[in-house]
């Protein structure tokens, strides 16, 4: 029997014991729901993921994609579960039911997505990208644009993409060269090329709607002159019917390390001079429109890495319980002693506990950001809205960068538990390693996330976002100090929080001095250390709850929460403090390194 996709008991713990998601039922927005309905959605997601989606995980990786004469054919195994996603309206869990959504809180949707994304992220890119394209149209589109595109994007009948990256620009979006020229009928002629476009061409949906970043002729240089356009693969007539193909052509697909079942396309727009698009929003508003969807997208990328890590951990745990090898430490000298499951060996326990700590801490972090989205939307208090907005702002780059890196590390650790078998295709962990790696690269490479964290979130907010975060951490520290079992852990984490504040303050000052280059050279280590502090916070928060329930019938479950917190704070956090101490904002060797010295 295959290992479970995830830990439903821990999901329930996070939803209802840590974040009390059923409290949203008291808000006007979600009063039509009840706890039973929330649980039913998660249960249905679990059934769909387990029975229909996960069986395609390895198969679509093996099949890959076929590119012939501008057309891309994806693995046929994806067709049935994709249709089930469309029929079940899984593409827009948090959006209005008027447009084919389910109207759920982000926190509950996150639980459903943990199952769906964990079962096969390749398949889930279709509803995720369709939702992303639809969200921008929902926020900035005209009534006619919403009428033509929104429901079919949200339900997944049509696919969506994001045409941002260009060969000569990459992460420097302001250097793009794709151009737009206004026509007499109010539409725009689009000309240019894009690369690394997920699902830019595919044969699962009858149409693909491409949001395209381009510069209108005469617009300012840089990001201030970028506009966003809706460019359908097949033109959509005024009555909603499909017309003629637009001048949008796939010129090739990438051969990648992972995500073999997902087409990553190079796209040509207007090579025949006949590519048309609608302006979305106002001229030169493209970056503003795009950033409205980026918080959710980066949360989804974090979820991709987390679910890969979680799946790898579940497989490693299952394998360690069954794999017989070696004698127990107690009987090491008895050559006649029976072999024991490798989970009894101390070093394997160390690896599994390390994975458990990261997986559970990352789950809480990701759900917490979803929780902040919900609190921001449902609160009627301006101060509270600002608090959760600040938390979303500072946590988003951490979720994307830290989760993608630690999620990959967990996958690698899981492979180590399998030993030589983990390096073979006989077991799925090698695919998890390959598929997870991309999360640290796309949707803003992690170095860029670190620059955003330091430049915009810490220094740019004059420390307000960090102060909000630290205040929330301190609430958990105070609660933990009142519990004898956790007081020592709280004090150790408290020293880390204080050091983080000092380091971030020094970073902010350096940003506005002659040492800015040194500050940016230290941005990634600072973001990683911040992630560690937040991980300690999440695990301690869980331990505070668990400590009060050790006499319950579920005592083993709660003891596991305390052990995870102990392991992280006592064995990993000390190295974090060392990294924080080592961060320098003056004369950083990396910043001062001349190119010819490499």
Residues recognised as catalytic? 443
C-alpha 382, offset from chain centre: 28
Q: Which two tokens stand for residue 255?
A: 């051969």
463/512 Cα distance (integer angstroms): 14
522/584 Cα distance (integer angstroms): 7
Q: Which two tokens stand for residue 10?
A: 């821990």
Let me know how many helices (H) and strands (E) the chain has, helices first. 20, 12
- The helix (run of H) or strand (run of E) holding residue 322 is helix 286-322
Which residue, chain included where needed, has tokens 């939803």? Answer: 15
Bridge partners for 229 per DSSP: 212, 279
Beta-sheet pairing, 71-73 with 66-68: antiparallel
206/396 Cα distance (integer angstroms): 34
Bridge partners for 68 per DSSP: 71
198 — phi, psi (to 5°)? -65, 130
CB of 136 within 8 A of CB of 123? no
> Helix-strand-coil percent breakdown of the chain, rounded to 5?
60, 10, 25
Residue whose C-alpha is closest to residue 405's, from 493, 301, 311: 301
337/331 Cα distance (integer angstroms): 7
């Amino acid at each position: 029997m295959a290992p479970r996709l995830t830990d439903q008991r821990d999901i329930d713990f996070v939803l209802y014991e840590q974040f009390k998601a059923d409290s949203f039922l008291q808000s006007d927005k979600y009063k039509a729901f009840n706890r039973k309905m929330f649980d039913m959605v998660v249960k249905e997601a679990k059934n769909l993921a387990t029975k229909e989606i996960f069986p395609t995980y390895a198969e679509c990786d093996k099949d890959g994609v076929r590119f012939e004469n501008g057309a891309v054919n994806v693995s046929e195994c994806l067709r049935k579960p994709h249709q089930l996603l469309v029929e079940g309206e899984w593409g827009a869990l948090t959006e209005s039911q008027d447009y084919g959504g389910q109207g759920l809180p982000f926190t509950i949707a996150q639980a459903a997505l943990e199952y769906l994304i964990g079962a096969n992220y390749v398949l889930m890119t279709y509803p995720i990208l369709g939702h992303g394209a639809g969200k921008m149209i929902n926020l900035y589109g005209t009534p006619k644009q919403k009428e033509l595109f929104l429901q079919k994007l949200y339900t997944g009948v049509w696919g969506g993409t994001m045409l941002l990256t260009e060969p000569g620009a990459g992460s420097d979006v302001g250097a793009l060269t794709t151009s737009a020229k206004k026509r007499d009928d109010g539409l725009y002629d689009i000309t240019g090329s894009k690369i690394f476009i997920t699902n830019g061409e595919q044969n699962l949906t009858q149409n693909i709607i491409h949001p395209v970043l381009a510069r209108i002729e005469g617009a300012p240089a840089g990001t201030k002159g970028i506009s966003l356009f809706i460019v359908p693969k097949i033109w959509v007539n005024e009555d909603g019917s499909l017309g003629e193909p637009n001048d949008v052509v796939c010129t090739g697909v990438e051969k990648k390390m992972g995500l073999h079942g997902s087409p990553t396309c190079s796209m040509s727009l207007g090579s025949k001079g006949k590519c048309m698009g609608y302006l979305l929003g106002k001229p030169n508003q493209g970056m503003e429109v795009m950033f409205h969807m980026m918080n959710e997208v980066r949360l989804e990328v974090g979820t991709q890495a987390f679910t890969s890590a979680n799946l790898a951990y579940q497989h490693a745990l299952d394998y360690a319980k069954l794999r017989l090898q070696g004698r127990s430490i107690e009987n090491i000298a008895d050559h006649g002693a029976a072999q024991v499951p490798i989970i009894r060996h101390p070093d394997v326990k160390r690896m599994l506990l390390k994975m458990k700590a990261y997986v559970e801490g990352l789950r809480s972090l990701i759900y917490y950001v979803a929780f902040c989205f919900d609190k921001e939307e449902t609160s009627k208090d301006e101060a509270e809205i600002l608090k959760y907005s600040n938390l979303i702002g500072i946590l988003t780059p951490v979720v994307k960068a830290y989760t993608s890196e630690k999620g990959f590390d967990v996958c690698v650790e899981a492979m180590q538990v399998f030993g030589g078998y983990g390096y073979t295709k006989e077991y799925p962990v090698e695919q998890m390693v390959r598929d997870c790696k991309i999360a640290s690269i796309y949707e803003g490479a992690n170095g860029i996330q670190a620059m955003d964290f330091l430049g915009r979130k810490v220094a740019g907010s004059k420390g307000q976002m960090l102060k909000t975060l630290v205040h929330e951490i301190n609430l958990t520290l105070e609660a933990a100090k009142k519990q004898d079992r956790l007081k020592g852990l709280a004090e150790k984490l408290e020293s880390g929080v204080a050091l983080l504040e000092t380091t971030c303050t020094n970073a902010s000052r350096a940003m506005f001095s002659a040492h800015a280059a040194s500050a940016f050279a230290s941005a990634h280590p600072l973001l990683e250390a911040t992630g560690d502090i937040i991980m300690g916070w999440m695990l301690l928060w869980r331990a505070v709850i668990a400590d009060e329930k050790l006499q319950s019938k579920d005592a083993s479950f709660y003891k596991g929460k305390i052990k995870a917190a102990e392991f992280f704070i006592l064995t990993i956090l000390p190295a974090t403090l060392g990294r924080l101490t080592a961060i320098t904002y003056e004369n950083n060797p990396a910043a001062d390194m001349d190119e010819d010295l490499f």
